Structure 1
């Protein structure tokens, strides 16, 4: 589809547009234009094969749900904590090697393993506590997003089907319903960005969905064009891959450095949704009070989900616990070679490295999934969740609400499958008793297909039950 030249030309080129072209531009502006297929968001190039995948993409997250690897779990790097443990393990290797060499050539520094037993129990208890609390937060975040998906689908279906389009304003009501369903998707996208400390509205998946709303975030985006959106430098990227604390920036930096009020975009979207629901209630579009109650309760549940996700995000493990667990694990690892050298000798070097990998690995996993809404490899794939919700709501809008007779009385509606292949028209000529009798036979066939003892004729029970089955087969002409 050709686009108006005014939308593609800037500066002096616009002066060369003739009067007739300007009139044509205005005429075209009255009709809806469509995004070219090449500009539409697509997952076509989302995945790269193993030959074209860059180093950065391999370690970025969250992990895509449809990504499949044929490598055994033992050899997988993507999703593991190995990159974050490279520097700590190198330090442990250097420390253990120096202790073992000093003990072998200068003076034996080996000590009794009694301390190893005592501290090992405490380390195991602390790591278990850290892992269990982190995984609980991870699953709580997943449950919150599952609830959001379910509530959004129910609200979209309620509005699309139960909100009647009035005859005098059918077109306006239809466009308003589409707007409301788009706002439901926008709420999920806005919540995702809120949980990742991205408070503005210029993001690709959000800009076109909320650009027509009067919100604080939109105003801040327009007033602050030079936002901190620069990509990370080479050293910042490597510092993030290797989990170097000194190289990690504050995730709340954009909110902290904002010069204008950012508001609460998700809450403001819910305000607009509530205004729409009140409008269709006042207009009599909801014919039953239960539809009104369900719609308003859905908005309240969406607000409750935001509060729950904010609680998960803003209530991490208490700092005292985190510091104590980190200090305890490192003290245990640092004194480990002194205790292992007495019994293992130089083998204490790989033994200490293996123990350090397990201990630091579990601590790293707990630290990574403590915030399940981030961009780590093992975090929740919120982008995929939001995209799937958008697809689901588009599917709901794809079909206009119809009368049930359209599919109930369809000629291909095989009501008694697998008993009969006849359609609705054939069964509508039968009496009620014949239909109920056929339903009973259909139930017997279903039980025969499910119960293993009835799948073969030789295994059917003898006696009255067997004779009833034979009568059923002889009386049903359409049994398959």
Structure 2
């Protein structure tokens, strides 16, 4: 996502700056209509043929088209904003759910209802594993929205590799494989299922150092974004993931389609399609994987093609395991009813957010509306120079070019941000959203589980009654409620020794009344010093 002006930020290459605009998509059409305007001017000025039409409908049609294109862009931006709001909900719910699990689920649990007892270490391991699964949910949503099916990705597989692969009532054959893994196995580089669970056999290690996998491109934050950010020019997010063994190479965490000459000059793709057709006729190869690698990013007319949503719904499978964990906590009475209800509501909110993201991703503007709007705009721009040549003369050429640039640009912007979940520079930065969630979840688990508030409240670092009384909490405790005295002189409030402010010369009796007067004075001091 281009959050700042890339043309002047100096953090993007010229190619990236060019790709961040819509010029790359509309320049062939602008060039075509400019040629039409040039032809109209030259024929009219150099011959006896006057290519001039009545311009009575010019203003009316231009106004109508402008309004329709404005509605098209506004509706697309609304979808863009909805996508951002939904990802805000994903981050919010992930944080809340992780906090509930980390704080409200006890570490030590006695044996109950046939379930074994858990000691402190086992309880922490269980909760941290489920929080990692929450992180995996956000990552799986990112891949799902980008049309990247399956679970074998460098930033996803290490987080869910511990999930069961086979039905507990069956064997370990492909027929017994659970839906999550069965849908992820695409047949490529597939080996015997027995190697999946083996930790001693030689195989591919992923995570923990970001070692590249055979047959897959190395994915790092710097190499995939192409921007030399001062905070991320050396970061490899996969380094901090678990180091596990996998039976097949993993796909990169980010796999944006590569740009080639056909992206800069889209109409040349016609020759590529003709060449492939000739190869098929004469028995040539039917393809070399270029279409999968990004060669089919554009249609025959040069329009960008958005990938469809993935066909294996990994986020739903992860929600199923999280729901099973919440049911286990309720069944074993390991969590209070209010906290259990909050956990269940958080999981349901994640499922609801996924449904909303699917709605945005797979409900484009109806094709008939898009096609009719674009054809109407082409007809308008084609006949525009015929209507303005008599009044603008040679200015017909730049005038038509500017009108084409203006109308086609807004139309293309609406089409580009309509589905904001892909790799275009103007799409939402889903990778950064997932990394933010990862940092926040690890920040939650870095804190002590259910800390005793007395361990940090009653210390010499805490001055609860400041600015009216700057004595520390431990000094106040030593004084006691019966010995506490409010002072109107302000010895403690002025920053002097706390004992002088609380013990001598006060105009109130020791006790709760003095505490209340101290808090009232604190409010007055704050109100006085914070108003302009």
- TM-score (norm: length of structure 2): 0.66
Q: Deviation per CA, 1:381-401, whole angstroms, max 9, x where unpaired?
A: 111111100100000001112
Which residue is 1:421 aligned to? 470
Equivalent position to 2:299, from 220, 236, 245:
245
1:67 Cα deviation (Å)? 7.9
Quickly say closer, same or farther: Cα 1:236–1:96, change in 2 above 3 A.
closer
* In 1, Cα distance between equivalents of 2:435 and 2:9: 26
Which residue is 1:371 aligned to? 419
Q: Mapping of 1:10-409 within 5 angstroms?
A: 62-63=1-2, 69-70=8-9, 77=18, 79-106=20-47, 107-166=49-108, 168-213=118-163, 214=165, 215-225=178-188, 232=258, 234-235=260-261, 237-238=263-264, 239=266, 244-246=298-300, 251-252=306-307, 263-286=312-335, 288-401=336-449, 402-409=451-458
Check whether the contact 1:211–1:218 (CA below 8 A) recurs between aligned residues.
no
* In 1, Cα distance between equivalents of 2:401 and 2:83: 34
* In 2, Cα distance between equivalents of 1:254 and 1:281: 34
* In 2, Cα distance between equivalents of 1:199 and 1:118: 48
* In 2, Cα distance between equivalents of 1:269 and 1:146: 19
* In 2, Cα distance between equivalents of 1:395 and 1:80: 37
SS in 2 for 1:304: helix
Quickly say closer, same or farther: Cα 1:232–1:394, change in 2 above 3 A.
same
Which residue is 2:175 aligned to? none
Quickly say closer, same or farther: Cα 1:203–1:83, change in 2 above 3 A.
same
1:281 Cα deviation (Å)? 2.3
SS in 1 for 2:57: helix
1:226 Cα deviation (Å)? 5.8
SS in 1 for 2:325: helix
1:417 Cα deviation (Å)? 3.1
Q: Which ranges of structure 1 fall in alignment gaps of 5 or more residues?
A: 1-61, 256-261, 453-480
1:254 Cα deviation (Å)? 9.2
* In 2, Cα distance between equivalents of 1:173 and 1:88: 63
Quickly say closer, same or farther: Cα 1:251–1:69, change in 2 above 3 A.
same
Check whether the contact 2:184–2:312 (CA below 8 A) recurs between aligned residues.
no
SS in 1 for 2:119: helix
1:294 Cα deviation (Å)? 0.3
Q: Which ranges of structure 2 fall in alignment gaps of 5 or more residues?
A: 110-117, 166-177, 191-215, 217-250, 267-293, 485-510
* In 1, Cα distance between equivalents of 2:365 and 2:312: 27
1:89 Cα deviation (Å)? 1.6
- Verify: 1:448 aligned to 2:528, yes or no: yes
1:65 Cα deviation (Å)? 7.5
* In 1, Cα distance between equivalents of 2:312 and 2:20: 35
1:235 Cα deviation (Å)? 4.6
Q: When you count helix as a share of all residues, which structure comes out higher?
A: 1
* In 1, Cα distance between equivalents of 2:426 and 2:304: 20
1:237 Cα deviation (Å)? 5.0
Check whether the contact 1:135–1:366 (CA below 8 A) recurs between aligned residues.
yes
Which stretch has the larger CA shift, 151-160 or 276-285?
276-285
SS in 1 for 2:20: coil
1:131 Cα deviation (Å)? 1.0
For the aligned residue pairs, the C-alpha RMSD in angstroms reads: 2.9
* In 2, Cα distance between equivalents of 1:66 and 1:365: 16
Check whether the contact 1:185–1:389 (CA below 8 A) recurs between aligned residues.
yes
Size of the alignment, in residue pairs?
Answer: 382
Which residue is 1:32 aligned to? none
Quickly say closer, same or farther: Cα 1:208–1:180, change in 2 above 3 A.
same
